[in-house]
Amino acid sequence: MVTEEQINKAIGGHGLWKQRLRSAIDAGKSEFSVATVRLDNVCDFGKWLYSLSPAIKATDEYKKIKDIHAKFHAEAANVLNFAVQGKKDDAEKSIAFGGAFAVLSADLTKAMMLWKKTLK
């Protein structure tokens, strides 16, 4: 079942990633591994998303969010990889306004907000 509460938690949780990535860029290290961040089924939202019923998984909203969510994690992993390799400029470019991570983050939030509206 899809609930507004679950979507709100996901929006907040994924919003924290910019802060985590910023810290990794500044420090040149992270408590998170690039390989784990790349996985879209390890975060709480991803676990929940993959556990939904086949009927929900068949919806356009689900398919769109699953796709964007996977791309979000892939780009977060790319940024983290740049950060831990000391490639600050590349990492900064992705999280800056208009960068790949920033765009995917905004797209994911927008898609989840639209999904939430369909629940009302």
Report how far residue 75's alpha carbon sits from residue 67's, in angstroms, rounded to the nearest whole number: 12
Q: How many CA atoms lie within 13 A of 113 on its CB side?
A: 7
Dihedral sign computed on CA atoms, order 47, 50, 53, 58: positive
pTM recorded for the entire structure: 0.91
Q: Report the percent of the chain where pLDDT is more than 90.
A: 76
Q: Are 34 and 75 in contact (CB under 8 A)?
A: no
Spans in the chain with pLDDT lower than 70: 120
Report how far residue 75's alpha carbon sits from residue 80's, in angstroms, rounded to the nearest whole number: 8
Domain chopping of the chain, boundaries? 4-118
Q: What pLDDT sits at residue 120?
A: 67
Which fold would CATH assign to domain 4-118? Four Helix Bundle (Hemerythrin (Met), subunit A) (1.20.120)
Q: What pLDDT sits at residue 42?
A: 94
